[in-house]
């Protein structure tokens, strides 16, 4: 008899479209479990943290929240941020607190071009494009070091310092992760992105570590590209990309560009991994809470569902992950698309089509 594979997942929908897309992802995974004849199961527990919780309690998360989350196999996150709470308060209070608190130092953000979805890149019509952004997720520009002072000098006199932190350990682990990932792909290539001509300390350290680690992977092609040039390369020569590794801020920006080139921010999936598995990893769409369309049932659930597929891979369920990815491709190819990618379907329509397409 097949072995039962049961996973406990903490769902944190957060704000805005977060609850709509997390609900879609849960439905898809539950459908997968229902069709498994009892060999696969997910137990969900939902947590109400986010901007509404903040309005009620003055906190983005319960004090013992991180401790309670530690026992789960994974966290499934929507998005955080709402106009009633300053963005830096909501982001640091919940998402960054979890990423940093659980040392989820590798953020994997694939850029997938899907059938039926029009890319703004003309090249995408005739060229096979597929790359993945690997983002350093624990330090760099989002290290949280700095401060504000001198407000007593009066209006216009305040000073803010925001430092970026690059440790050799942090650079080495994410760069090695990128090389290991490149070895699993048809094109074995890693592009390292910095701005080391202008940022002469942290990013020069990154470049040196990249060169040192690359020597251990002679079978993997490499290049080092400045972030401004890489943003142009995403648009002009994306066929040369396979794995792109960059610091927290640079990869954050580049991955949004990548998802826009693939057709919409609503399509992009991501995994925040603690590769040593000392803590739970967290899976979430790249997009934010989209206040402009929240509550209307029109947001694209594909980024969140793709993130659920990354969660399945993390559980070692490669066949199930591939099924979800095939369902995403089939749904798009059938033209069941939300408005951000030029269609007229609702979030519910797309979710139902994804579930139907799981059967194939």
Ligand X SMILES: NC(=O)c1ccc[n+]([C@@H]2O[C@H](COP(=O)([O-])OP(=O)(O)OC[C@H]3O[C@@H](n4cnc5c(N)ncnc54)[C@H](O)[C@@H]3O)[C@@H](O)[C@H]2O)c1
Catalytic residue set? 142, 195, 228, 252, 256
Q: What sign does the dihedral 20-21-25-31 (CA atoms) show?
A: positive
Cβ-based nearer residue to ligand X, 99 or 358:
99
Q: Minimum distance from CB of 160 to ligand X (Å)?
A: 19
**Within 13 Å of residue 142, how many CA atoms lie on the same side as its CB?**
22
Contact string (CB under 6 A) for ligand X, positions 207-236, x = contact? ------------------------------
In 82-178, the DSSP E strands lie at 106-112, 130-136, 140-149, 159-165
- Residue from 191, 192, 194, 289 touching ligand X (CB under 6 A): that is 289
Per CB under 6 A, does 292 bind ligand X?
Answer: yes
Contacts of range 167-170, beta carbons closer than 8 Å, 24 or more positions apart: 167/139, 168/205, 168/209, 170/105, 170/136, 170/138, 170/139, 170/140
β-bridge mates for residue 159, sequence order: 149
Contact 40, 312 (CB under 8 A): no
Q: Minimum distance from CB of 245 to ligand X (Å)?
A: 20
Contact string (CB under 6 A) for ligand X, positions 16-45, x = contact? -x---x------------------------
Q: Where are the alpha helices (DSSP H) in the chain?
A: 17-34, 51-57, 65-69, 87-90, 96-101, 168-182, 202-214, 227-236, 248-262, 302-314, 318-333, 347-358
Per CB under 6 A, does 290 bind ligand X?
Answer: yes
Cβ-based nearer residue to ligand X, 19 or 289:
289
Per CB under 6 A, does 349 bind ligand X?
Answer: no
The encoded tokens of residue 80 equal 């955080």
Element (H, E) at 272: strand 269-273
- Residue in the block written with tokens 């580049």: 254
- Residue from 288, 305, 327, 350 touching ligand X (CB under 6 A): that is 288
Cβ-based nearer residue to ligand X, 86 or 316:
86
Cβ-based nearer residue to ligand X, 51 or 242:
51
Contact 185, 242 (CB under 8 A): yes
Cβ-based nearer residue to ligand X, 191 or 289:
289
Q: Closest-CB residue for ligand X?
A: 81
- Residue from 60, 171, 190, 265 touching ligand X (CB under 6 A): that is 265
Residues 62-121 that bind ligand X (CB under 6 A): 79-81, 87, 91, 95
Contact 349, 336 (CB under 8 A): yes
- Residue from 65, 266, 280, 343 touching ligand X (CB under 6 A): that is 266
- Residue from 246, 299, 312, 337 touching ligand X (CB under 6 A): that is 299
- The C-alpha atoms of residue 206 and residue 140 are separated, in whole angstroms, by 10
Q: Minimum distance from CB of 286 to ligand X (Å)?
A: 7
Cβ-based nearer residue to ligand X, 25 or 81:
81
List residues near ligand X by CB under 6 A.
17, 21, 79-81, 87, 91, 95, 265-266, 284, 287-293, 299-300, 303, 338, 340
């Amino acid at each position: 008899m097949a072995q039962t594979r049961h996973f406990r997942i903490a769902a944190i929908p957060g704000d805005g479209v977060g609850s709509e897309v997390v609900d879609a992802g849960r439905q898809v995974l539950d459908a997968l479990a229902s069709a498994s004849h009892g060999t696969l199961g997910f137990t969900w527990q939902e947590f109400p943290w986010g901007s509404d919780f903040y309005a009620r309690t003055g906190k983005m998360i319960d004090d013992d929240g991180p401790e309670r989350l530690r026992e789960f196999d994974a966290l499934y996150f929507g998005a955080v941020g709402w106009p009633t709470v300053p963005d830096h308060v909501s982001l640091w209070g919940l998402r960054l607190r979890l990423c940093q608190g659980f040392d989820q130092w590798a953020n994997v953000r694939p850029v997938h071009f899907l059938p039926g979805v029009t890319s703004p890149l003309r090249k995408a019509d005739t060229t096979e494009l597929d790359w993945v952004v690997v983002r350093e997720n624990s330090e760099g520009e989002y290290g949280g070091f700095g401060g504000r002072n001198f407000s007593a000098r009066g209006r216009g006199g305040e000073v803010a310092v925001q430092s970026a932190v690059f440790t050799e350990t942090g650079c080495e682990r994410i760069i090695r992760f990128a090389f290991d990932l490149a070895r699993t792909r048809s094109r074995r290539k890693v592009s390292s992105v910095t701005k080391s001509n202008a940022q002469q300390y942290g990013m020069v350290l990154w470049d040196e570590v990249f060169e040192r680690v690359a020597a251990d992977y002679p079978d993997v092609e490499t290049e080092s590209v400045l972030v401004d040039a890489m943003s142009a390369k995403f648009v002009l020569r994306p066929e040369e990309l396979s794995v792109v590794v960059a610091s927290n801020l640079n990869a954050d920006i580049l991955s949004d560009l990548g998802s826009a080139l693939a057709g919409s921010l609503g399509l992009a999936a991501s995994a925040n991994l603690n590769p040593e598995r000392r803590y739970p990893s967290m899976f979430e769409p790249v997009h934010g809470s989209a206040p402009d369309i929240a509550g209307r049932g029109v947001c694209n659930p594909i980024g969140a569902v793709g993130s659920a597929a990354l969660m399945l891979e993390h559980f070692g369920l490669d066949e199930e992950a591939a099924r979800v990815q095939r369902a995403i491709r089939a749904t798009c190819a059938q033209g069941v698309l939300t408005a951000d990618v030029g269609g007229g379907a609702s979030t519910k329509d797309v979710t139902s089509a994804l579930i139907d397409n799981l059967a194939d």
